[in-house]
């Protein structure tokens, strides 16, 4: 896919105030650790994740999506009446119906002719939303669109801790399937895209590639979908090692397509922002893609794996820290369970905050 008329006007984020360290999680797992004689510190040692954050109990994802979406609109300087599409792309949502995007649309005061809907694709939902909005802009259907989402990890982490302590049949081998669940953090991100005429930054979305490898769709799986009146206490079991290996293989194949599609060489890429999983995943990915981690910006150590908002949130924090500079060629490298890969190329020119 290639674009001539699509620009990224602002990328914004919100994070919770409550910090939960890996040490705290291990202290709550004391019954399990004692029974299996597990050494303290293994969670951070295995993942490289020191801490993650939780939203306040009872907070709905849509609440924070409104807040983060508002930041993106204000930072862009775009009149909200020009926003012709709103995509809510996180795994977490307020209700099974209506779409969480409906409440966010109302909270942001967007126009009545603005298309709105939810997109769900594990850790790639917001990137998929960016592609869908970009397609509408390129076709001339809309002049601007907003992609937003909020992930909340409290329920998953706390339910996992409870289950691990209660199930005395679990072995060291079996609890490996729950490690990924304890790395999950909370966050919110929003991306506002426009056409050339509205853009003030000149940050052009050049295009990208997508690749699927659904032979491994079973490697990371939550509970079955539940009705609105069910318990809604999520659990997720992940074969992290195999998912990492197969995900990186899929990314490696997609990356070759990406370079060809964009007519880039590896050395043409100035900066990267990737989905945030952990230290081992990052190391293996960059080795496989033959890229230097020095061009990357990472947040997993302090934010954990924040699902669909991880990559755009990391990009937004990287922008704050000066990770991107004028004329940088930037690669967004998204890998999600399924297995799905989506890679996007950006010609970066200016920070919307400048």
249 pLDDT more than 70: yes
Based on the residue annotation, tell me whether 217 is a catalytic residue of this protein.
no
Mean pLDDT, to the nearest integer, of 109-122?
96
pLDDT at 174: 86
In sequence order, the β-bridge partners of residue 194 are 7, 144
Query: Is residue 163 situated within a structural domain?
Result: no
Nearest in space to 151 (alpha carbons), one of 111, 193, 185: 185
pLDDT at 229: 36
pLDDT at 216: 59
Cα separation, 92 vs 55, whole angstroms: 12
pLDDT at 308: 96
Distance of CA 330 to the CA centre of its chain: 17
| Eight-state DSSP code of residue 308 | G
Q: Could you tell me which residue, 327 or 217, shows the higher pLDDT?
A: 327
C-alpha distance from residue 297 to each of 322, 325, 341 (Å)? 10, 13, 19
pLDDT at 215: 72
pLDDT at 158: 94
69 pLDDT more than 50: yes
Question: Could you tell me if 272 and 331 are in contact, meaning their C-beta atoms sit under 8 angstroms apart?
Answer: yes
Does the CA dihedral 48-302-344-110 come out positive or negative?
A: positive
298 pLDDT more than 70: yes
Query: Is residue 213 situated within a structural domain?
Result: yes
pLDDT at 227: 35
CATH number for the domain harbouring residue 253 = 3.40.47.10
pLDDT at 214: 77
233 pLDDT more than 80: no
pLDDT, tens digit, for every residue of 251-293? 999 999 999 999 999 999 999 999 999 999 999 999 999 999 9
Average pLDDT, the chain: 92
Query: Is residue 147 situated within a structural domain?
Result: no
Q: Could you tell me which residue, 219 or 351, shows the higher pLDDT?
A: 351
Q: Place 232 in a pLDDT band, splitting at 50, 70 and 90.
A: very low
Cα separation, 61 vs 112, whole angstroms: 22
Query: Is residue 300 situated within a structural domain?
Result: yes
- From the list 18, 24, 30, 97, the catalytic residue is 97
Based on the residue annotation, tell me whether 97 is a catalytic residue of this protein.
yes
Cα separation, 19 vs 21, whole angstroms: 6
Query: Is residue 198 situated within a structural domain?
Result: no
Length of the chain: 354
pLDDT, tens digit, for every residue of 147-206? 999 999 999 999 999 999 999 998 988 888 888 899 999 999 999 999 999 999 999 999
3 state SS of 211: strand
Per the omega criterion (within 30 degrees of 0), is the bond before 69 cis?
no
Mean pLDDT, to the nearest integer, of 83-111?
96
Question: Could you tell me if 196 and 312 are in contact, meaning their C-beta atoms sit under 8 angstroms apart?
Answer: no
* Structural domain range at position 243: 204-348
In sequence order, the β-bridge partners of residue 18 are 54
230 pLDDT more than 50: no
Q: Place 237 in a pLDDT band, splitting at 50, 70 and 90.
A: low
Q: Could you tell me which residue, 239 or 185, shows the higher pLDDT?
A: 185
238 pLDDT more than 90: no
Total number of domains constituting the chain: 1
- Token readout for 286 is 């960059």
Query: Is residue 343 situated within a structural domain?
Result: yes
CB-side exposure of 109: number of CA atoms within 13 Å? 7
pLDDT at 217: 66
206: how many CB neighbours lie within 10 A of its CB? 19
Query: Whole-prediction pTM value?
Result: 0.92
Question: Could you tell me if 208 and 335 are in contact, meaning their C-beta atoms sit under 8 angstroms apart?
Answer: no
Mean pLDDT, to the nearest integer, of 40-57?
95
pLDDT at 228: 35
Cα separation, 276 vs 13, whole angstroms: 15
pLDDT at 124: 95
Listed in sequence order, the residues at least 6 apart from 354 whose beta carbon sits closer than 8 Å to its beta carbon are none
Query: Is residue 325 situated within a structural domain?
Result: yes
- From the list 75, 92, 114, 123, the catalytic residue is 123
Query: Is residue 45 situated within a structural domain?
Result: no
352 pLDDT more than 90: no
């Amino acid at each position: 896919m290639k674009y001539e008329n699509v620009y990224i006007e602002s990328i914004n984020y919100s994070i919770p105030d409550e910090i939960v360290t890996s040490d705290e999680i291990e202290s709550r797992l004391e019954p399990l650790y004692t029974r299996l004689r597990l050494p303290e510190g293994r969670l951070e040692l295995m993942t490289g994740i020191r801490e993650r954050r939780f939203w306040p109990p009872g907070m709905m994802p849509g609440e924070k999506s409104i807040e983060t979406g508002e930041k993106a609109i204000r930072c862009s300087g775009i009149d909200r009446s020009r926003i012709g599409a709103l995509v809510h792309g996180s795994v977490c949502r307020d209700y099974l119906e209506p779409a969480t995007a409906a409440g966010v649309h109302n909270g942001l005061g967007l126009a009545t002719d603005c298309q709105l809907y939810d997109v769900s694709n594990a850790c790639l939902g917001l990137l998929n939303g960016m592609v869908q909005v970009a397609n509408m802009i390129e076709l001339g259907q809309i002049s601007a669109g907003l992609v937003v989402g909020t992930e909340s990890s409290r329920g998953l982490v706390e339910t996992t801790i409870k289950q691990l302590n209660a199930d005395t049949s679990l072995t060291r081998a079996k609890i490996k399937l729950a490690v990924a669940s304890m790395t999950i953090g909370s966050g919110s991100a929003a991306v506002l895209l426009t056409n050339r005429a509205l853009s003030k930054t000149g940050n052009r979305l050049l295009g990208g590639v997508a690749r699927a490898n659904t032979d491994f769709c079973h490697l990371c799986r939550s509970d079955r979908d539940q009705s609105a009146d069910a318990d809604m206490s999520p659990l997720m079991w992940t074969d992290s090692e195999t998912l990492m290996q197969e995900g990186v293989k899929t990314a490696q194949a997609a990356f070759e397509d990406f370079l060809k599609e964009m007519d880039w060489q590896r050395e043409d890429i100035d900066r990267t922002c990737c989905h945030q999983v952990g230290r081992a995943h990052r190391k293996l990915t960059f080795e496989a893609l033959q890229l230097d981690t020095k061009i990357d910006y990472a947040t997993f150590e302090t934010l954990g794996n924040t699902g669909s908002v991880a990559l755009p949130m990391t990009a937004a924090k990287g922008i704050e820290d000066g990770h991107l500079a004028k004329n940088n060629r930037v690669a967004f490298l998204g890998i999600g369970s399924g297995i799905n890969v989506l890679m996007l190329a950006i010609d970066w020119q200016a920070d919307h905050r400048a």
